[in-house]
Amino acid sequence: MKKVAIYTGTYPDTTFLTLLARGLADSGVEVHIYGKLKRKTKEDYNIKFFTYSDKNKGYNFYFILKYVFLNLFFNYKKAIWYYRHIKSEEAYSIYKKSLIILPMIYHQPDIIHLQWIQSFKIFRELDEILNAKIVVSIRGSQLSISSFLYPDAWQTTVDATNKAVKIHSISDDLSLQLLKINPLVRDKIIKINPAIDLNLFYTAEASFNRARSNPLRIITVCRLSWKKGLAYGLEALKKIHDKGLNFEYIIIGEGKQREELTFLIRDLGLTNKVKLKGRLSQTEIRKALLNSDVFLLPSVQEGFSNAVVEAQAIGLPCLVSDAEGLEENIEHEKTGFIFKNRNVPELAALLEQFTKISNKDYIILKRNGVERSKARYDIKDQIIALKNLYENIDII
């Protein structure tokens, strides 16, 4: 089996990438992790870590010295080439890059799978010492926002996708956006659906038959960022509140927009209706989802959103905007409803519809969501697809 570096920069990263690395390792792939290590658990047993410390600078100094000597002894030519290549850079840049590259030179992964496309900057022009094939994943804002706003990010996207032997896309929309930037890489793109561990979101049969609550319980799980469109959601809720319709809304997550949202909630007169819960554990999130009636995500930009997949898996109908990959995430009028991006009146009408939906129609939406998540978004299927991708890459 090939040696595959799953590179995220920091481990653990997002939940879905951590599950991916563990799943690949447990399935027999020799998974390498490079970069910064925050923590590891017994679930990471089959992963090989060549990582530096999140906090211990003394250990990091030892870590670099260790790999300097190992490479000088076993990979002398590559070590000298690397030194000549980076010696003109600033000292701190050399230090940070060497914490990642020096162990890679020594352990020589066959494939480096970059989970975030802009991280290619670290690996640019290192072909002479890293013989690995590059696989790039395209996800969310690093492609659809940064690459269009910033010339440097645009160029990194072009360089990364030119260099990659395969490009892993999580949605058709992101594939189309990439082709606007680099139309020459169409044949490299492989779409593999995002996935979740369905065991974590098992829904008991009794939950299927639970009618919606009164008041209607609405939930959002996301980072508090402008791109999530939460202000549009709050404005829509203000409209149904003014009609006297009864609801409760909780938002789980943290981010830079918290202060702005806190002010907006008060300004709209929704203080008694909307609660910002902050960051919660996976267990607490699952409990909150089980106690809710509708999942809302009014994003203005969204690569896909695993949170929406998790909501469907647990039996929650979803209200999502038509932003990019969200249109592919749910099935309109089957597992929820899709509304026009930034269209507050349309969203308000759908929220009002949910306050009046019959129990029969509501339960059908719940069941459809669970069935769709099982059929499309099981992490076991994603791992099989990625293993096939790696196995079909010629490393000679």
pLDDT digits (tens, 9 = 90+) for 78-113: 999 999 989 889 999 999 999 999 999 999 999 999
- Beta partners for 318? 295, 336
Contacts of 300 (CB under 8 A, 6+ apart): 226, 227, 228, 229, 232, 321, 323, 341, 342
Report whether pLDDT(166) > 50. Answer: yes
Q: How far apart are CA 279 and CA 254, in angstroms?
A: 6
What percentage of the chain exceeds 70 in pLDDT?
97
pLDDT band at 15 (very low <50, low <70, confident <90, very high): confident
The pLDDT of residue 206: 47
- As a whole number, mean pLDDT of residues 269-298 equals 94
Question: What is the percent of the chain with per-residue pLDDT over 90, rounded to a whole number?
Answer: 79
Whole-number pLDDT of residue 200: 80
| Cis status of the peptide bond prior to 109, with omega within 30 of 0 | no
Q: With a cut of 70, say whether residue 208 has pLDDT above it.
A: no
- Check residue 144 and give its pLDDT: 84
Q: What is the mean predicted confidence (pLDDT) over 342-350?
A: 97
The more confidently predicted of residues 235 and 57 is 235
Q: How far is it, in rounded angstroms, from Cα 256 to Cα 213?
A: 32
Quick one: pLDDT band at residue 308, thresholds 50, 70, 90?
very high
Q: Give pLDDT, residue 343.
A: 97
Region 135-160: what's the mean pLDDT? 92
Structure-model confidence comparison of residues 139 and 160, the more confident one? 160
What would the mean pLDDT of 126-134 be, rounded to a whole number? 88
What are residue 25's phi and psi, to 5 degrees? -65, -40
Which pLDDT band, with edges at 50, 70 and 90, does 210 fall under?
low
Is residue 152 pLDDT above 60, yes or no? yes
pLDDT at 238: 98
Domain with CATH 3.40.50.2000 in the chain: 3-195+379-391, 198-376
pLDDT at 209: 62
Q: Which fold has domain 3-195+379-391?
A: Rossmann fold (3.40.50)
Domain 198-376 belongs to what topology? Answer: Rossmann fold (3.40.50)
Q: Tell me what the pLDDT averaged over the chain comes to.
A: 92
Q: At what angle do helices 230-242 and 258-267 cross, to 10 degrees?
A: 10
Res. 74: pLDDT tops 90: yes
Q: What is the pTM of this model?
A: 0.90
